[in-house]
Amino acid sequence: MNILILGYGKMGKAIEEIAEDRGHTISHKININNTQALKFIDPKEVDVAIEFSQPGAAYENISYCLENNVPVVSGTTGWLDKKDEIDQLCMEKNGSFFYASNFSLGVNLFFKLSELLAQMMDQQPSYDPQIQEIHHTEKLDSPSGTAITLAEELIKNHSSKTEWINEPSEQENVLPIISKREPNVPGTHTISYTSDVDEIEIKHTAKSRTGFALGAVLVAEWILDKKGVLSMKDFMKF
């Protein structure tokens, strides 16, 4: 298939390598230096777009794809205040839009594990949950989209928490997310439940960007005959 890469940073380059290894063709690459070139691409030359750009560019990139009947797979975080508009546009255009805060298959298994653990710990009021995420210093948004997904799912399944905050908190109803930025860290997410006597912890550590890139390419292959607003729950059948 012919792939349009929107965002040609480290993730875009990793996606290119894996896609070509799997026999696909990168028909176009758009980055911060040639954003205007997107307007001149013939949509008929593109089977699917994979979008890992910047928060400020994601909305326009995804809108272009949906307006031109190009299925789009997006992993850009930091723009989700406009996601409802994109979802609506996708439905109006009978398009294909897939968003995930993290395309790693391991992370999505971790999401499911976290959901089940939250349901169990909801019956144990002596334990208080917290999320910590560590990423490379080049990551612009904080907390990570993965941490936000973890927090939102935990809140749905743990009755004592009604909101999250990106800093330490002693408020009983608030779930704290602690964000750290360190050199050369692809992504580490930890959920801990602490009581006066012990602590329960689950953690996912990414070894490289390869898992994220592979997941995005697998989803791009899968989405070609799909319609609607889709997510990793659809892909992994959770």
pLDDT value for 82 = 96
Residue spans of alpha helices (H) in 68-144: 83-92, 105-121
Domain count across the chain: 2
Same domain, 87 and 30: yes
Same domain, 183 and 110: yes
Exposure b/e, 60-91, CB count within 10 A at least 16 = b: ebbbbbbebebbbbbbbbbbbeebeebeebbe
Same domain, 99 and 109: no
CA nearest neighbour of 69 among 93, 51, 40, 53 = 93
CA nearest neighbour of 122 among 173, 162, 159 = 159
Question: Residue 171 CB: number of other CB atoms within 10 A?
Answer: 11
Same domain, 62 and 44: yes
pLDDT value for 101 = 86
Same domain, 10 and 85: yes
pLDDT value for 99 = 97
DSSP state of 213: H
| 145: CATH | 3.30.360.10
pLDDT value for 209 = 86
Same domain, 145 and 110: yes
Ranges of beta strands (E only) in the chain are 2-6, 25-30, 48-51, 72-74, 96-99, 128-135, 163-165, 174-181, 188-194, 199-205, 228-230
Same domain, 114 and 194: yes
Same domain, 97 and 86: yes
Same domain, 59 and 110: no
Give me the sign of the Cα torsion angle 82, 83, 88, 93.
positive
Same domain, 113 and 92: no
Active site residues: 135, 139
Same domain, 90 and 125: no
Same domain, 93 and 164: no
How far apart are alpha carbons 187 and 76 in whole angstroms? 15
- pLDDT tens, 164-205? 999 999 999 999 999 999 999 989 999 999 999 999 999 999
pLDDT < 50 positions in the chain: none
pLDDT value for 141 = 84
| 39: CATH | 3.40.50.720
Task: Please state whether the predicted TM-score (pTM) of the whole model is above 0.85.
Answer: no
pLDDT value for 123 = 96
What is the spatial order of strands in the sheet that 72-74 belongs to? 25-30, 2-6, 48-51, 72-74, 96-99, 228-230
pLDDT value for 77 = 86
Domain extent for 232: 2-103+210-236
